[in-house]
Each structure stands twice: as structure tokens, then as C-alpha cells.
Amino acid sequence: MVQGTASSVGKSLLVTALCSLFHHRGLRVAPFKAQNMALNSAVTPEGREIGRAQAVQAEAAGLEPAVEMNPILLKPEGNLRSQVVMLGKPIATMTFTEYRGLKPELERVVSSSLDKLRRAYDLVIIEGAGSPAEINIDFDVVNMFVARLSGAPVILAADIDRGGVFAQIVGTMELLAAEDRARVAAFLINKFRGDQALLTPGLEFLQTRFGRPVLGVVPYLAGLNIADEDSLGLEDRRAQAPKHGADVTIAVVRLPHISNYDDFLPLEHEPDVALRFAESAAELDGADLVVLPGTKSTVADLDWLKQTGMAAAIARRASEGRRVLGVCGGCQMLGRSIEDPAGVESAVARAPGLGLLPITTRFAPTKVTARVLARVATPSFLTGDLGGETLLDGYEIHMGSVLPGGAFAAPFSIISRNGAAVELADGAIGAAGTIVGTMLHGLFENRPLRAAFLNALCAGRATVRRPGAPASASRADEYRRLAELVGTHLNLDALGRIAGFEGIFA
């Protein structure tokens, strides 16, 4: 089990690396995180919803994701409430007080899910959440509760990039109960930039004080083409140097409740694309494309757009014939109105949209979570010259139905949903063709579409991308790169012993 001294110390990526390392040594490996709080999510082949991080970890282990890998997903909605997704299906929206009342049921679900994985795989690599030493909270179904339940040895990871790494580790160990402290088998220092020799006195101190080894010091690795667990990953984008001289500039609106922003990760990693997450109307200026992404709180974020001047800037852009793309909640906001008579998402029964697409959204209690296959139905800048014969993978996660309201052209036709043949129109194209909305996530993972889309944005410029041959690395390449980096900086012999497979890295 990998636990951390705090949130965002890199637990998810470390587990991803370990899944890949052990998988390539011939073990059947599965990831597990009992409870995940995140707005980046994924859909299993059965149409169930889990945290994006566990889907990534499963892929690194050569697996399709399963609900048992993340049996509880919390999706914050604002006002101290979260949607509770259990075994891939939403059960309610709750406050923390209401949620903690489910503890017996949560423990049962966590235990049964973990048992199922342990019976099916040689090794389960467990991820904790936040810190195990939150002494003000007597509620735990994800950290030491799981370590006790499974008997798993714990690797305690800390983030040196933010400073105070030795205080993080010592403080966490001191605050743990004695029986839980005994479960910590080793320490790991993550995100290091510099000369490791400078850490020697501190590493020796930890060994002397606690009698545990430091398993390794992993360097900071920027620019991975691997999806982040949650919006904390957007903070790291601010420290990255902007790309100058890029052929295409894309501004993604950073909504307060932004979700599944990993949709745009493949674009970030195109060398000739400068993609930024914009928090003000001024940051939309000069972009070749403005994107309204997914959101967990559509009406609240629509109001934020209006209050901040973003809505006016987008409307002005549309009137000038400049391109705007809406994905999922962003598509809904570009429509004429959002109706929620049953109060599924908020207390607002009807909210006027931006009026840039001829659609209306109506929320319903049943959540749509599906993997889909789609084809191009109507050409647009989103699909460029891509023909309707190309099959596109994607997925849906939304509460509302999008209904046409007048002249209507859909960019895509969904032909399969969770393996069942269907014929459904998706999204809408504005009258001038410069406004496009889709409810499909994951479209830019399709290399031919990504190439055609970027070629459309680059029309009249020198850059041309051949379909199927983009410049950005594949996820498989990135998993290997991550595993090699982490493996190079860990004591693999000690790691194998801790995991119960001594000599596997010999």
C-alpha cells in the first residue's frame, strides 16, 4: 500500500509506476483505492464510473478497469456536498455528516471489493488518500483501515518539492497510533530536483529514528502524458513555461467545478499546440479556440461564467465568427437553457444558457455512464476532413439529456453504447459552423480525429499532421517512461521483499 503525508504527493503516479513495474515482471497486478474524491472519472466496459486514476493504473497493469478497483467515488458538487458513487453508480448527494452515517455499508463494500481483487490477482497495489494522520477526523475507510483489513505493508510517500519533507514524515509517524506506525515498512521521497547527496543526513536520520529504510528518492518528472487524479494537477500547469511560436493556441476555461479536463491532455502534449487553462476573460484573447469543458455543477459554473465576464467574452467571440467548443457540461452551457425541474443538480429549475447552440438540456435522476463508438455525422472544425467511415472511441458521463430545439446538425452519431448497437445523435453545431458542442469525452485520444482537428485549426498554415502519426507519445510509452524512472531510483530488491515477491527484480 502507498500512503502519503498529504494530498498531491504523487501517490497515484507512484502506484501507476508500481503497477507497470510488477506487470512487466510477469505478475497479474491490480490497483485499488477504496475511496476516491475526484472530478476526473472514467467508465468501465460495463458502463460503471470510477476514478480516472484507477483506470490509468489498470491500463498500466495491462487491464481493463473494474468497479472493484475504486468502489467508492466522491464527486464534489459545492455547498459542502458530494455525489456518492458506489460500485460505479450514483446513490445520493450528501454532506460529510450524512456520508459518515454509511460507514458500516462503506466498510462492507470496501472489504468485498478488495477480497474479490485479491482472489483474482497475484498482487494488489493499494493507494491511500490524503494523509493517514488526520487526527481531527475519526472516519477512515481508505487509509489505515484498509492497511489493517488487508495486512498490507505501507510505503509512506512524501513530496519534497513543496518543502519540509522530513517534518512531513516525522510528523505523520508521530501522529499515527502505534499499531499503524508499525505497518509502515519504508519511506519514499518524491518530486526531488537537485543533488541527492544533499539529502544524506536526513535520510540517515529517518533510518535511525524509525528503523525503516528510505526506499528511494524519485525525481520530479514534468510533462507526463498521463491523466491527473483531480484538479490539484492544474496547479502544476501554472509553473510550466508557456510554449512560444506554437501553431495553435487553445484556451480551456477553468471552471470552478471543472471535471474530466484530462480530455485535453493529448492536445497539451502536441509540440505545436499551446494549451492554457484560463481563469479570466482576458486569458481568452488571442486563442484560436476557446473550450468550455465538463463540469460537475453546470448551473453554478454557468452563473460563474456570467459573473466573471467569461460568458460575454464567449458571446462576443461567437459574434465575430471565431471558434468555440463545448464538451459535456460545456456543451450544455452553450445551449438555450438548462432545465432541472426535479432538482437533480441544483435548486434552480431553469437557467438560461449562452444561446449559441440550438439545444436544451433537461436533467434527470438517472446518470448516463457509457463507453461509446461514434462516427462523424456532420463535418465541423472538430472533425476536419475526417470521414464518416472512421470509428471513434469515447465515453459519456452526464445527468442530463440534450434535446434539439429547431434547426439541428449533430457532429457525431453514436452507433454503440456499452456494446449495444444504437443510432443516436450527439451534440450540436451552430448555424455558422464555428460553435460546436459534444457530450462525448475522450475524443482527442483518437489519433485520426486529433490530427484532422488540428489540421482544421491550422488551415492555411504550414503545419500538417498525418492521421495516425501525431507527435505526442502514446500512453503505453508514458507508462514505460514513468516505470523506468521510478524503478531506476528505488531499491527494487527492498521493494520486492516488501511486496512479498523477493528476488522478482533480480
Strands 324-327 and 289-292: parallel
Which phi and psi (to 5°) does residue 502 adopt? -60, 135
Which H or E run contains 302?
helix 298-308
Mean pLDDT for the stretch of residues 196-204: 93
Domain membership flag for residue 69: no
Domain membership flag for residue 129: yes
The CA-based angle 440-442-443, given to 5 degrees, is 75
Q: Which member of 23, 257, 398, 441 is catalytic?
A: 441
pLDDT at 236 over 60: no
Count of beta carbons in the 10 Å neighbourhood of residue 64: 11
Q: Which residue has the cell 445520493?
A: 92
Q: Residue 463 to residues 251, 269, 332, 458, 460: CA-CA distances in angstroms?
A: 20, 16, 32, 7, 9
Domain membership flag for residue 361: yes
Instruction: Indicate if 115 and 168 belong to the same structural domain.
Output: yes
Q: Residue 343 to residues 80, 90, 339, 346, 399: CA-CA distances in angstroms?
A: 17, 15, 9, 5, 12
Which phi and psi (to 5°) does residue 339 adopt? -110, 135
Q: Between these two residues, 470 and 197, which has the higher pLDDT value?
A: 197
Q: Which residue has the cell 489519433?
A: 447
Domain membership flag for residue 82: no
* Interatomic CA distance for residues 110 and 287, integer angstroms: 45
Mean pLDDT for the stretch of residues 419-424: 95
pLDDT of residue 230: 60
Instruction: Indicate if 214 and 271 belong to the same structural domain.
Output: no
Domain membership flag for residue 41: no
* Interatomic CA distance for residues 66 and 475, integer angstroms: 19
Q: Are 4 and 130 in contact (CB under 8 A)?
A: yes
Grid cell digits, residue 429: 453545431
CATH number of the domain enclosing 147: 3.40.50.300
Domain membership flag for residue 268: yes
**Which of 307, 241, 318, 247 shows the shortest CA–CA distance to 279?**
307
* Interatomic CA distance for residues 260 and 402, integer angstroms: 19
pLDDT at 247 over 90: no
Q: Between these two residues, 332 and 226, which has the higher pLDDT value?
A: 332
Domain membership flag for residue 124: yes
Instruction: Indicate if 196 and 314 belong to the same structural domain.
Output: no
Instruction: Indicate if 320 and 405 belong to the same structural domain.
Output: yes
Q: Are 416 and 422 in contact (CB under 8 A)?
A: yes
pLDDT at 417 over 60: yes
Contacts of 8 (CB under 8 A, 6+ apart): 159, 232, 233, 235
Q: Are 49 and 88 in contact (CB under 8 A)?
A: yes
Mean pLDDT for the stretch of residues 470-480: 73
Instruction: Indicate if 274 and 399 belong to the same structural domain.
Output: yes
Give tens-digit pLDDT for 326-336. Answer: 999 999 999 99
Q: Which member of 19, 257, 328, 458 is catalytic?
A: 328
**Which of 132, 215, 219 shows the shortest CA–CA distance to 498?**
215
Q: Residue 469 to residues 20, 384, 446, 481: CA-CA distances in angstroms?
A: 25, 16, 11, 20
Question: Catalytic residue at 244?
Answer: no
Domain membership flag for residue 45: no
**Which of 302, 308, 405 shows the shortest CA–CA distance to 354?**
302
Q: Can you give the three-state secondary structure of 76-105, one letter per residue?
A: EEECCEEEEEECCEEEEEEEHHHHHCCHHH
What is the rounded average pLDDT for all residues in the chain? 92
pLDDT of residue 231: 54
Structurally, the chain folds into a number of domains equal to: 2
pLDDT of residue 213: 95
Instruction: Indicate if 254 and 339 belong to the same structural domain.
Output: yes
Contacts of 387 (CB under 8 A, 6+ apart): 376
Give tens-digit pLDDT for 16-38. Answer: 999 999 999 999 999 999 999 99
Range of the domain at 181: 2-35+51-64+104-224+476-499
Contacts of 192 (CB under 8 A, 6+ apart): 160, 161, 199, 217, 218, 219, 220
Instruction: Indicate if 303 and 447 belong to the same structural domain.
Output: yes
Instruction: Indicate if 290 and 351 belong to the same structural domain.
Output: yes
First to last CA, the chain: 22
Instruction: Indicate if 151 and 9 belong to the same structural domain.
Output: yes
Give tens-digit pLDDT for 430-461. Answer: 978 999 999 999 999 999 999 999 999 988 67
pLDDT at 469 over 90: no
CATH number of the domain enclosing 428: 3.40.50.880
Give tens-digit pLDDT for 344-394. Answer: 888 888 999 999 999 999 998 889 999 999 999 999 999 999 999 999 999
Q: Between these two residues, 226 and 439, which has the higher pLDDT value?
A: 439
pLDDT of residue 477: 85
The percent of residues above 90 in pLDDT, for the chain, comes to 81
192 three-state secondary structure? strand
Instruction: Indicate if 266 and 343 belong to the same structural domain.
Output: yes
The 8 Å CB, 24+ separation contacts for 90-97 are 90/49, 90/367
CA 61, 62, 65, 71 dihedral sign is negative
* Interatomic CA distance for residues 194 and 406, integer angstroms: 60
* Interatomic CA distance for residues 265 and 371, integer angstroms: 19
Count of beta carbons in the 10 Å neighbourhood of residue 439: 29
Instruction: Indicate if 218 and 245 belong to the same structural domain.
Output: no
Which phi and psi (to 5°) does residue 294 adopt? -70, 160
* Interatomic CA distance for residues 350 and 49, integer angstroms: 27
Give tens-digit pLDDT for 102-144. Answer: 999 999 999 999 999 999 999 999 999 999 999 888 899 999 9
Q: Residue 490 to residues 13, 60, 217, 408, 459: CA-CA distances in angstroms?
A: 14, 18, 7, 56, 47
Question: Catalytic residue at 441?
Answer: yes
Q: Residue 186's beta-bridge partner residues?
A: 155
- Name the pTM for this structure: 0.90
pLDDT at 78 over 80: no
Instruction: Indicate if 57 and 179 belong to the same structural domain.
Output: yes
* Interatomic CA distance for residues 363 and 428, integer angstroms: 18
pLDDT of residue 406: 73
DSSP secondary structure of 342-358: T-SS-S-SEEE----SS
Q: Are 46 and 7 in contact (CB under 8 A)?
A: no
